Structure 1
Amino acid sequence: MRDIREVVERLKPTILMVLVQILYVGINILYKLVVVDGMNLRIVIAYRFVFATAFMAPLAFIFERKQRPKMTWTILFQGLISGLFGGTLAQTLYLETLALTTATFATAMNNLIPAITFVMALFFGLEKLNWKAAAGKAKIIGTLIGIGGAMLLTFYKGARIPTPSFHVTVLQPLTSHVASSHSSSGGNILLGALFAMFGILSMSLWLIVSSKMSEKYPCHYSNTTLMSFSASLFSIGFALCTERDWNQWKLGWNIRLLTVAYAGLVPAGVNVVIIAWCVHKRGPLFVTVFNPLLLLFLALVGSFFMAEMLHLGSIIGGVLIVCGLYMVLWGKGKEMKKMNLLDVPPQTLHVSSSPSVEVIVKSSTGDDKSNHNNNINTSNVVDRDRQDSSENGNNRAIHDEKKQLTSRNV
């Protein structure tokens, strides 16, 4: 049982990050549904962080009110930066990329986040290149393989592979909408790519700031609440500046309420807590490596539930993504083991080391002799002290007798 617990504890960050990508599939589907409904996506972002703040604030108060460190200006500033870059800017730029290009292009560009985050983590000293070591090579090559697999899954189709389908066509009306949107904005591909790059930089910077923030303020519920609150302020202000129709802000018992509630509770709430915890445990690169899995899950959902055909490129890309993930996780595992060995106290190693025991056994005779000699020397010193003290006592007695004779004569 103890071995099973240790294995589960080691695999916990990996399992949680896979769960994060699965939950992101749901929000992508809901975003498509709410686009068909005609809701302004900037308002969706604003409601998303409002719901996230209302959901996370009670959790932070209940679970972290006694262990929360003192709030400082540095932590507050990092929370505002996280809300601006990881919340408002990242989501807004991603949706702008969707509007100017296609969902395929935007999702493919997001797969550059691991590479950009790795470069920024090197710059800030959170990761080491360590090209000469096997772990460093595994991280670099695995990241490149994962990105290449995601790009192959996106842009290469190949032969069709028949798969069973449940014939769920709830997103079928979206096809014409996306096609018309893409045709009307075909000349803005360059601007969309520029927005996508800024969105990638925003996400990477948020992961770096989140890693720094979790070191001094390791309260993930409070961190997420602070980020969601600041992001809600920025998003509401931006939505009010761009949308003046108050009918867009109304929510009913429809797909709009479901979308903003799910977006606030799951991606902006639960997922951010999990990501912050994984960044604190394994670093920002570990988190970003799982991003290509989103494309793989979306391809599977599309083939099994949306009556879409699965292509050879999707299978090859998925295999490359899994191989890249395995290489990066292997490299991170090697580095974590090395760090744990370096953190072992030297006293424990000294006590458990066998050479010291051998030296004690081999030198036991010499030690007995030396101890015997030391005892003899000590006894001699004690005897000398006793003799000196007795001689001093005799001298004092003779001196006293002389004083008495002198006084009598006088």
Structure 2
Amino acid sequence: MWSVGVTAVMVAVECLEVGSSTLNKAAMNKGTSDFVLIVYSNAFAAIFILLPSTFIYYRNRTRPPLTVSIICKIFGLGLISCCVQTCLYVGIGYSSPTLSSAIVDLTPAFTFILALISRGIDCDFVQGASTSSSFFLSLLYIVQTSIIREYPEELMATFICCVFVTIQSTVVALIAERNPNSWRLKPDMELIAIGCSAFFAVALRSLAHTWACHKKGPVYVSMYKPLGIVFAIIMGVTLLGDTLYLGSVVGATIVAFGFYSVIWGQSEEEKMIDDKDIDSLKSSSPKAPLLQTKSIFCRN
């Protein structure tokens, strides 16, 4: 039942993230800077969502102390997250959410390879800007899992990381975006995209992925990325007016079938492992040696 809950959360997060990317593309089409969009999204998420949530959550409970080592690791995590968002948003700006989602399908493969290389993560499951985001996203899951196992406070770690990303992305935006008018917020599609991105693509997604990495590991989390292309095709056609091609339909169907096949296979594997554990417990019970000894004496 717990796996079903994690699966439901991850599918919902993928759907909301693709919806946010679609709104971001619509805002970019109207002239919104992708670099400024990253800054405002993370700033809004940190100030208006994660900071109040952190105060409320830790109002009556004590949190583990933050060490310099943990803060430095979260700073590195924020740097990776900044690279992920920058590559992803730039890729969406030059292409579309559908193509970006298709390239992000490389994430599970990168994550699995990096998990094997790192050796510190449990691996029981056995266009140019966008491809980089897949690699950085895989690296993000690996580092995120390592940090949250050492400091198991998902909300606090997500808030600190979001603050670091805001600072880091601001530095990048000041260098890359030279037009001062790009920083002016307009009460139109730009503000809607920033608000949705702050809530769904930054705060909710980061918190859900951190929690899922803690519970299931980085490879499990990365398996849901290919599902995003299905949502991207649907939203691209309905909201952005993209043309629906037969190849897109066939590809989305194959991805959906493959995704549910993997989920089904994983559930069957977990059942087999549970059955083996039950059998091993039965064979190692105190009665088993007595029965085996008795049968030996009878044969003699």
Q: Does 1:314 align with 2:213?
A: no
CA distance in 2, matches of 1:198, 1:223: 24
Mark the CA change 1:101 to 1:298 in structure 2 (over 3 Å): closer, same or farther. closer
- The aligned counterpart of 2:45 is 52
CA distance in 2, matches of 1:112, 1:352: 46
CA distance in 2, matches of 1:305, 1:98: 15
- The aligned counterpart of 1:279 is 213
Q: Does 1:355 align with 2:288?
A: yes
- With the length of structure 1 as denominator, give the TM-score of the two structures: 0.63
1:95, distance to aligned residue in structure 2 (A): 2.8
Q: Which of 57, 63, 68 matches 1:63?
A: 57
1:43, distance to aligned residue in structure 2 (A): 0.6
Q: Does 1:211 align with 2:211?
A: no
CA distance in 2, matches of 1:69, 1:340: 33
CA distance in 2, matches of 1:121, 1:231: 24
Q: Aligned letter for 2:72?
A: F
SS, match of residue 80 in structure 2 = helix
1:351, distance to aligned residue in structure 2 (A): 9.3
1:283, distance to aligned residue in structure 2 (A): 1.1
Q: Which of 4, 17, 21 matches 2:14?
A: 21
In the TM superposition, 1:99-118 aligns within 5 A as 99-100=93-94, 104-118=98-112
Q: Aligned letter for 1:73?
A: V
CA distance in 2, matches of 1:338, 1:209: 30
Q: Is the 8 A contact 2:25 2:96 kept in 1?
A: no
1:199, distance to aligned residue in structure 2 (A): 2.0
What residue ranges of structure 2 are gaps of 5+ in the alignment? 296-300
1:252, distance to aligned residue in structure 2 (A): 3.7
Mark the CA change 1:103 to 1:310 in structure 2 (over 3 Å): closer, same or farther. closer
1:47, distance to aligned residue in structure 2 (A): 0.5
In the TM superposition, 1:228-239 aligns within 5 A as 228-239=162-173
1:91, distance to aligned residue in structure 2 (A): 1.3
Bigger Cα displacement from structure 2, 264-273 vs 328-337: 328-337
Mark the CA change 1:80 to 1:340 in structure 2 (over 3 Å): closer, same or farther. farther
Mark the CA change 1:263 to 1:101 in structure 2 (over 3 Å): closer, same or farther. closer
Q: Is the 8 A contact 1:81 1:206 kept in 2?
A: no
CA offsets 1:167-201 (integer angstroms, 9 cap, x no match): xxxxxxxxxxxxxxxxxxxxxxxxx52x3333222
Q: Does 1:261 align with 2:255?
A: no
In the TM superposition, 1:316-395 aligns within 5 A as 316-333=250-267, 336=270, 354-355=287-288
CA distance in 1, matches of 2:228, 2:141: 18
Q: Is the 8 A contact 1:45 1:235 kept in 2?
A: yes
Q: Aligned letter for 1:20?
A: V
- With the length of structure 2 as denominator, give the TM-score of the two structures: 0.84
CA distance in 2, matches of 1:36, 1:300: 19
CA distance in 2, matches of 1:220, 1:260: 23
- The aligned counterpart of 2:33 is 40
Q: Which of 76, 82, 91 matches 2:77?
A: 82
CA distance in 2, matches of 1:242, 1:309: 32
1:246, distance to aligned residue in structure 2 (A): 3.1
Q: Aligned letter for 2:288?
A: P
CA distance in 2, matches of 1:293, 1:267: 16
Q: Aligned letter for 1:59?
A: S
Mark the CA change 1:94 to 1:10 in structure 2 (over 3 Å): closer, same or farther. closer
Mark the CA change 1:76 to 1:315 in structure 2 (over 3 Å): closer, same or farther. same
Q: Aligned letter for 1:60?
A: T
What is the Cα-based RMSD across aligned positions, in Å? 3.1
Q: Calculate percent identity across the aligned residue pairs.
A: 26
1:313, distance to aligned residue in structure 2 (A): 2.5
Q: Is the 8 A contact 1:114 1:285 kept in 2?
A: yes
- The aligned counterpart of 1:167 is none
SS, match of residue 292 in structure 1 = helix
CA offsets 1:283-314 (integer angstroms, 9 cap, x no match): 11111111122111122234455665544333
- The aligned counterpart of 1:378 is none
CA distance in 1, matches of 2:243, 2:29: 23
Mark the CA change 1:260 to 1:301 in structure 2 (over 3 Å): closer, same or farther. closer
SS, match of residue 86 in structure 2 = helix
Q: Does 1:121 align with 2:55?
A: no
Q: Look at both structures and tell me which one has the larger radius of gyration over its CA atoms.
A: 1
Q: Is the 8 A contact 2:116 2:123 kept in 1?
A: yes
Q: Aligned letter for 1:12?
A: G
